[in-house]
C-alpha cells in the first residue's frame, strides 16, 4: 500500500515538474511592466527579464534609481517615474505603457512596489500611519492594476502581485500585514474574474529577504518614533522593558533575512514565462516550512506560538 502511495506521489511531482517546464513562445515580443524597480526584487527582476530577452518597462520612484537600472541593462529596457500613491502619476505611466505596447497589449504586470514602516503595536499608531503603508502596498496595487487591466486583457497576459508570508500570518501591528492580507484577497478575486479572459494571476509570498523593506535601521527608527509620540499612560502600560525587548528583536531580524533575492525573482519569472504558472509561490525556506504551515494551524495554536515569542508588556495580566 505504502509503495503504491509513494509511486502516486512521485508520479504527481514528475507530471507537475514536466508541466511547469513548458515555456511561453515568442518571449522577445512580450512587454512586462514592473513597479518598484529602484532596488530589491524589482530591480533584480528587471535585469533578469532583460537578459531573458523580454521587453522590460521598469517603473522607478526616483530618477537616480532609473539611471542606475539603465546603466546595468540593455537598450531594450525603458524606465518611467511612478509614484503608486498618486493617481496622476499612475495615469501618466499607463499612457506611457500604451504608447509602447500598441496593439499587442501588455503581457505582464508585476506589482512589486512596497514599504513596511511604520511598524509597531497597533495601539501606538495613528490612522495616518496605517494609510501611509496601505496607500502603497494595497491601494497602489489596486489602482495600477485597474489602470493597466485593459492592456493585460488584450494580451491575455499575466498579473503578478507581491504579497508576503505576513499576508498569511499576522506577526505584528501596523499597516504592513493588513496590506498584504488585502493583496491576497484582491488577487484571489481578480484571478477568478480574469480567468474568463485567459488572464492568469499569481501571488508571490516571500519569507524574510534582505531588501529595503527589512531595513532594520529604518524599522528601528520608526518604532522609536512611535514610542516617543505615546502618552504617559500607554508608555506605563507597555514599559521600557517592552521597548528594549522589541528593539532587540528588530536587531535580530537582519540575521533571519536571506540574501539570495533570486529565489523570489525566479518565482516571478516563472509566473510570467511558464505556460502553466502556479497560483501561489512561497520563496524561502522560512516561508515553506514555518509560516505557511503556521497559516494552516488552528488559530489558538498560532496565537500561543506568537504570544510565547513576543515581548511582554509591563502591565500584562
This prediction's pTM: 0.93
Q: What is the pLDDT of residues 119-171, one digit of tens each?
A: 999 999 999 999 999 999 999 999 999 999 999 999 999 999 999 999 999 99
H-run or E-run covering 227:
helix 216-228
Residues 97-109: b if buried by 16+ CB within 10 A, e if exposed: beeebeeebbbbb
pLDDT at residue 283 above 80?
yes
| pLDDT tens profile 25-53 | 889 999 999 999 999 999 999 999 999 99
pLDDT band at 12 (very low <50, low <70, confident <90, very high): confident
At residue 115, what are phi and psi to the nearest 5 degrees? Answer: -135, 165
Give the three cell numbers for residue 104: 499587442
| Residue 176 a catalytic site member | yes
Tell me the three cell numbers of residue 287.
516561508
Q: Kindly state the cell numbers that stand for 65.
A: 534609481
Q: Is the dihedral of CA 200, 201, 206, 210 positive or negative?
A: positive
Half-sphere exposure for 6 (CA within 13 Å, toward CB): 3
User: In this model, does residue 246 exceed pLDDT 90?
Assistant: yes
Q: Which residues contact 107 (CB under 8 A, 6 or more apart)?
A: 30, 31, 32, 54, 152, 155, 157, 158, 272
Higher pLDDT, 92 or 24: 92
| Angle, CA 114 vertex, CA 110 and CA 119 arms, to 5° | 155
What is the tens place of the pLDDT at every residue in 63-120? 999 999 999 999 999 999 999 999 999 999 999 999 999 999 999 999 999 999 999 9
Q: Residue 232: what pLDDT?
A: 94
SS3 category, 129: helix
Is it the case that residue 252 has pLDDT exceeding 90?
A: no
Q: What does the pLDDT read at residue 186?
A: 98
Q: Are 211 and 287 in contact (CB under 8 A)?
A: no
Asked whether the predicted pLDDT for residue 2 surpasses 80, the reply is no
pLDDT at 11: 80
Whether 258 contacts 265, CB under 8 Å? no
Q: Residue 230 has which C-alpha cell?
A: 505615546
Per the prediction, the chain carries an average pLDDT of 95
Asked whether residue 20 carries a pLDDT value surpassing 90, the answer given is no
Q: Higher confidence at residue 82 or residue 252?
A: 82
Question: pLDDT at position 77, please?
Answer: 97
Out of 172, 176, 181, 291, which one is annotated catalytic? 176
pLDDT at position 254: 84
What's the mean pLDDT in 168-195?
Answer: 97
Percent above pLDDT 90 for the chain: 87
pLDDT given for residue 150 in this prediction? 97
Q: How far apart are CA 46 and CA 63, in angstroms?
A: 16
Segment 230-256 shows an average pLDDT of: 92
Q: Which of 6-15, 64-73, 231-240, 286-295 comes out lowest in average pLDDT?
A: 6-15
How far, in Å, CA of 277 to CA of 158, rounded?
Answer: 9
What is the model's pLDDT at position 25? 86
pLDDT at position 19 is: 82
pLDDT of 6 reads 78
For every residue of 252-276, DSSP letters joined together read HHHHH-B--THHHHHHHHHHHHBSS
- Per cent of the chain over pLDDT 70 is 100
Contact 85, 60 (CB under 8 A): no
Residue 183 has pLDDT above 90, yes or no: yes
User: What is the Cα–Cα distance from 191 to 278, expressed in whole angstroms?
Assistant: 12
Amino acid at each position: 500500500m505504502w509503495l503504491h502511495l509513494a509511486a502516486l506521489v512521485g508520479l504527481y511531482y514528475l507530471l507537475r515538474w514536466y508541466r511547469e517546464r513548458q515555456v511561453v513562445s515568442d518571449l522577445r515580443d512580450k512587454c512586462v511592466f514592473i513597479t518598484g524597480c529602484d532596488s530589491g526584487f524589482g530591480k533584480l527582476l528587471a535585469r533578469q527579464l532583460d537578459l531573458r530577452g523580454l521587453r522590460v518597462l521598469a517603473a522607478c520612484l526616483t530618477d537616480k534609481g532609473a539611471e542606475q537600472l539603465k546603466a546595468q541593462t540593455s537598450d531594450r529596457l525603458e524606465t518611467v517615474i511612478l509614484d503608486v500613491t498618486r493617481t496622476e502619476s499612475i495615469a501618466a505611466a499607463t499612457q506611457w505603457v500604451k504608447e509602447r505596447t500598441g496593439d499587442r497589449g501588455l503581457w505582464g504586470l508585476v506589482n512589486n512596489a512596497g514599504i513596511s514602516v511604520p511598524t509597531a503595536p497597533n495601539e501606538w499608531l495613528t490612522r495616518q500611519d496605517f494609510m501611509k503603508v496601505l496607500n502603497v502596498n494595497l491601494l497602489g496595487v489596486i489602482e495600477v492594476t485597474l489602470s493597466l487591466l485593459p492592456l493585460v486583457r488584450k494580451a491575455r497576459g499575466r498579473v503578478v502581485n507581491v504579497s508576503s508570508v505576513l499576508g498569511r500570518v499576522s506577526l505584528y501591528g501596523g499597516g504592513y500585514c493588513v496590506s498584504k492580507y488585502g493583496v491576497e484577497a484582491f488577487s484571489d478575486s481578480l484571478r477568478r474574474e480574469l480567468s474568463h479572459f485567459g488572464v492568469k494571476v499569481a501571488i508571490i509570498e516571500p519569507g524574510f529577504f534582505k531588501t529595503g523593506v527589512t531595513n532594520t535601521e529604518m524599522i528601528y527608527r520608526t518604532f522609536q518614533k512611535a514610542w516617543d509620540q505615546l502618552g504617559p499612560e500607554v508608555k506605563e502600560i507597555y514599559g521600557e522593558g517592552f521597548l528594549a525587548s522589541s528593539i532587540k528583536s528588530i536587531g535580530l531580524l537582519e540575521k533571519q533575512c536571506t540574501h539570495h533575492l533570486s529565489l523570489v525573482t525566479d518565482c516571478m519569472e516563472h509566473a510570467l514565462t511558464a505556460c502553466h504558472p502556479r497560483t501561489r509561490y512561497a520563496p524561502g525556506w522560512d516561508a515553506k516550512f514555518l509560516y505557511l504551515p503556521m497559516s494552516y494551524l488552528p488559530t489558538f495554536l498560532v496565537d500561543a506560538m506568537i504570544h510565547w515569542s513576543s515581548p511582554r508588556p509591563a502591565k500584562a495580566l
